[in-house]
A and B are shown apart, each in its own frame.
Chain A
Amino acid sequence: MNAIEIPFQGETLCALASGALFWRARDLLIVSDLHLGKSERIARRRGTMLPPYETRATLERLAADLAATQAGDVLCLGDSFDDLDAAKGLDPEDRTHLVSLIQGRAWHWVEGNHDPGPAGLPGEHHAELTLGPLTFRHIAEPGAQGELSGHYHPKLGLPGCGGTRPCFLFDTDRMILPAYGAYTGGMPATAPELRTLIGSPAFAVLTGTKPLLVPYPARAGTGRGRRRF
């Protein structure tokens, strides 16, 4: 598996092509915005019956990353469940799979706006969590330092290289993780909400087949100009 090593606040973090972040020094795999149980929640609230396989797809991806990195511990950076009822409504097979991943690991659930309390699964629940120089919270706070967050589902495309891909965004002070869940959309990395958070210089790591490191697009003339395939 390919990864991009990012020096951040004196630590080295590995951005994986899947959208997970590996902190080797702490043996910790960090994923954000899993949105497990999303289809169940939509069926409950709207009556629309989407293919109920997104939890399975997300957990399979997570299991693959755990196998590849051999990570001992896991930190889920909020919105792990689409809501707290969705955590209870997990398909038994999916739940068994998730519990088997949790077993034998220190597993940190940082809460998000979708899952603001313990979801009734093994592991520790945190409102936010600080490990060494790094603070993990779901929604970025202005002016924070050494902060890792999720929430915005940033995505970015390269001019002339097809559509957008979920991406990591980082400057010297903060990093925003892409959404890891299967049924998650994205917000353009250049949206005003994100631009006000990200300082300069800043970079993005695009997920996909291989992670790609690119500078965070400057304000003017982003992604425009003649396209050529």
Chain B
Amino acid sequence: MTALPPSFEHWFATRGWSIHPHQREMLARADAPSLMLIAPTGGGKTLAGFLPTLAELADGAHKGLHTLYISPLKALATDIRRNLTIPIEEMDLPIRVEDRTGDTKQTAKKRQRADPPQILLTTPESLALLISYEDAPRIFAGLQRVIVDEIHALAEGKRGDQLMLTLGRLETLSPGLRRVGLSATVDDPDALAAQLARAPDPCEIIVADPGPDPDISMLHTEAPPPWAGAGGAYAVREVLAQVKQHKTTLIFHNTRAQAEIFFHKLWLANEDDLPIGIHHGSLSRQVRANVEAAMVAGELKAIVCTGSLDLGIDWGDVDLVIQIGAPKNVKRLVQRIGRANHQYNAPSKALLVPANRFEVVECMAALEAVKARELDGNPKGPGPLDVLCQHIMITACAGPFDEDALFAEVRGVGAYAGISRAQFDDCLDFVATGGYALRAYDKWKRLLQRPDGLWQLRDPRSALRIRMNIGTIQDADMLKVRMRGRGGRPLGEVEEGFASSLTPGDTFLIGGQVVRYETLREMTVEVTRRADREPRIATYAGAKMPTSAQLAHRILDTLQRPDWPELPRHTRDWLHLQREVSQMPQRGRILVETFEHDGRHHACFHTFAGRHAQQTLGLLLTRRMETLGLHPLGFVGTDYATLVWGLDELDDPAPLFEAHELREGLEGWLTSNAVMKRTFRGVASIAGLIEKNLPQVRKTGRQATFSSDILYDTLAKYDPEHLILRVTRQEAMRGLVDFARVEEMLERTKGRVDLVRAKRPTPLAAAMLLERDRVPVAGAGRERLAEEEAARLLKESGLAAFGAATIAGV
């Protein structure tokens, strides 16, 4: 146990603070090899994590790195440094604290490697980069403690897997180091603890008092929410009024694009000039830093933000959280609500703003779930192999390694405890030779086995390229945006796909300002300022989370009630109308509505399986409809339903839902669809098959590059059992394909299908017509349209094409 030095007790006393029971307990159990604290936001988690470190370093005896602190956000590392500096300075402790993230200057990074501080604050990616250096053993030799903050957020994805592999490495470099995890309230603490601890060792868990129930409700607005959409712009006035009444408000959005649009609208309506800022991951470092600084200084009344402020940053003055758009996930909602009122044991205040009519129902279901303290969980699968491949490359960058030792190290990582030697060897072979059935690269291997059995890079220069591609965050390809002119100010980033759709003169929103697209120069979007025009809308990469299964069930149950007195009138009327002209979707049945609209036959499948599964269903259903000759043209999937349109009418939907057929369809279809290609892109770049960042490459023309889709098609055709394809398949099934949710839906509906033939779009289906993200279906129908379009263009052009003709048979 670590005792608290008297100077600490004194410091707490002078500030009028008392140490929370869970902070004392963290001190008492500081010797535990792994220890996890679960505490609500505002519970002094971070201090609880650092107290043992500060106490151990108080006498100045420890030289070199003592504690590594890892957070999922760069901003958090900076913020913690600020917060730690206060007690260290006031108690005059001989401790140096520094942060190291992608934003840290090169010179500072170099110095940190030569002379590490006692406490280093970093992110999983920067840490992975650190262990890839040859001098990693020296840097980490005396490391005592590793604190993983917001471990619940990291552990959900591959960043957590990479971090835990890195911790396995650190354990080898500094045996006996202690691991500490800090987590918000989660549904399954034991599973989280098992990821943190060295497998198969146990992990001690401390659960802090969860505090009082939050004060949470739906925001009342004069205008009803729109039928579709996700922005919440209709509520701008009411939101502003709330901002005025509170000290500091965080306004959360589910995607960056929505945050931008809302901020713009907020600003236009902001007649009192309330100081309001915007913060999201696509903004440039400078812009984010300015907003953070203004927030810390208490200069802002409100901040429009996304997941980039989900975590960490301790702003004691936040007294209201507004969530725009349905929260999709109760656990995340609870964590966001916790951002309000960082005072332990005071209720947090939050308002939900449904973005469309259906989300009113979802928000109500979420409110009920929060009151019932019912969190939704999603069990995590075993550690993904693409991350392991990258870890093997990182290990090779640091120096020659022994495969048996590395295998043992990997087995000590919770998520990889069950990995077989064959799986590990597959990964090693992939990294070394590409792992193809065709042994093409024996001459150009990436790794070579030396006579003494150790593996090393064939070409040491490749370490540079590997380091440039470290990380598991898969954003779409982003282009930097800056103001035109020499040394133009960087504003942020936009998706490459969005940038390529721009023509000079187009306007879009970034960082809350309207800018005009001028030109694309060396992969940078150059813009000028425009204040006078309505913007085209920037579409940033925004991971849209599906509504959780638990929440979807709650919604279905809500819909079955005879009336909804707690809902606003507009939504109530809408639901009653749906019941009148059609019927309500039920948990145990599939409701299919068909109608004609805009010259196309439509079929709406209300199956409530979440966005990803609904999209998968869209692909599977259109595929079956294609075989049935119904000429489907496209579909759109939301969290609640899938709408398909095509050239012919669907008469009998029941056979479409035969589980066996769907599963079989999945098998055949999986290899050739866009979701697989998208998943492949992520897996292939994490595993190092595709390098996104290349040193000093100036592409002379775009014909030099080709898409990863081509690689996918080729690999699928000639080497279908290749490691990367196997990983892609598994991941797609769990992730974007989300077939588990399709199965769950089939299980609860058991083939009971109701068909409603409507004369016009039903109230529920009408909202679907307005959804964006429409997916075209490649098939006979589309080919027919393409031919018609080509013929039309040719005719319109008034040119005879020199008598060129289509002929059959050459």
Residues of A within 8 A of B (CB): 1-8, 14, 16, 22, 24, 39-40, 43-44, 46-54, 56-57, 68-69, 89, 91, 151-153, 158-162, 172, 179, 182-188, 191, 193, 201, 203, 206, 209-215, 224, 229
Contact = CB atoms under 8 A, between A and B. Distances in A.
Contacts of A183: 706, 710-711, 714
A183 B710 CA distance: 7
Nearest to A68: B810
Nearest to A1: B810
A203 B440 CA distance: 41
B663 to A, nearest CB: 27
Given A40-B440, A47-B444, A48-B691, A186 B806 contact: no
A5 B810 CA distance: 9
Nearest to A71: B810
A224 B502 CA distance: 10
Nearest to B795: A215
A49 B786 contact: no
A115 B462 CA distance: 26
A185 B707 contact: yes
Contact of B786 (A5, A51, A212): A212
Contacts of A184: 703, 706
Q: In this complex, which of A43, A49, A53, A185 has the most chain B Cβ atoms within 10 angstroms of its Cβ?
A: A49
A16 B807 CA distance: 10
Given A47-B444, A48-B690, A57-B717, 12 more contacts: A2-B806, A6-B804, A48-B689, A49-B436, A54-B714, A91-B440, A158-B793, A203-B801, A213-B790, A213-B794, A215-B793, A215-B801
A5 B807 contact: yes
B783 A46 contact: no
Contacts of A224: 503
17 contacts: A3-B806, A3-B807, A4-B807, A14-B810, A40-B444, A43-B444, A47-B462, A48-B688, A49-B436, A53-B717, A161-B785, A162-B782, A183-B710, A185-B707, A187-B702, A187-B703, A201-B799
Interface in B441-465: 441, 443-444, 446, 458-459, 462, 465
Contacts of A186: 702-703, 706
B710 A158 contact: no
B445 to A, nearest CB: 8
B790 A158 contact: yes
Interface of B: 433-434, 436, 438, 440-441, 443-444, 446, 458-459, 462, 465, 503, 633-634, 688-691, 694, 701-707, 710-711, 714-715, 717-719, 722, 774-776, 778, 782-783, 785-787, 789-790, 793-794, 797, 799, 801-810
B539 to A, nearest CB: 13
A188 B701 CA distance: 10
Given A1-B809, A7-B802, A185 B714 contact: no
Nearest to A227: B774
B633 A229 contact: yes
A22 B776 CA distance: 33
A54 B719 CA distance: 12
B789 A158 contact: yes
Contacts of B691: 46, 48
Contacts of A214: 790, 793-794
A182 B714 contact: yes
Contact of B715 (A51, A179, A206): A51
Contacts of B436: 49, 51-53
Nearest to B459: A47
Q: In this complex, which of A40, A69, A179, A185 has the most chain B Cβ atoms within 10 angstroms of its Cβ?
A: A185
Contacts of B797: 201, 215
Contact of B689 (A50, A158, A211): A50
A43 B722 CA distance: 18
B689 A49 contact: yes
A140 B364 CA distance: 65
Contacts of B443: 44, 89
A151 B704 CA distance: 10
B703 A49 contact: no
A29 to B, nearest CB: 10
B117 to A, nearest CB: 35
A47 B465 contact: yes
Given A4-B806, A6-B802, A52 B703 contact: no
Contacts of B633: 229
Q: In this complex, which of A43, A53, A184 has the most chain B Cβ atoms within 10 angstroms of its Cβ?
A: A53
Nearest to A182: B714
A51 B714 contact: yes
A185 B703 contact: yes
A91 B707 CA distance: 24
B801 A213 contact: yes
A28 B680 CA distance: 39
Contact of B433 (A49, A51, A57, A215): A49
Nearest to B691: A48
Nearest to A52: B440
Nearest to B699: A185
Nearest to B805: A5
Contacts of B717: 53, 57
A36 B689 CA distance: 19
CB-based closest 7 A-B pairs: A49-B434, A52-B440, A185-B706, A153-B703, A215-B797, A229-B634, A53-B718
Nearest to B688: A48
Contact of A161 (B705, B789, B806): B789
Contacts of B776: 162, 229
B703 A4 contact: no
Nearest to A187: B703
Contacts of A47: 444, 446, 458-459, 462, 465
A90 to B, nearest CB: 10
B441 A43 contact: yes
B628 to A, nearest CB: 19
A152 B776 CA distance: 29
B439 to A, nearest CB: 9
Contacts of A7: 802-804
A183 B701 CA distance: 15
Contacts of B444: 40, 43-44, 47, 49
A201 B715 CA distance: 40
Contacts of A206: 790
A185 B705 contact: yes
A68 B810 CA distance: 8
B810 A22 contact: yes
Given A68-B810, A187-B702, A229-B774, A53 B719 contact: yes
A212 B434 contact: no
Contacts of A182: 710, 714
A84 B802 CA distance: 39
A7 B807 CA distance: 13
B175 to A, nearest CB: 33
Contacts of B465: 46-48
Contacts of A48: 465, 688-691
Contacts of A1: 809-810
B446 A51 contact: no
B711 A50 contact: yes
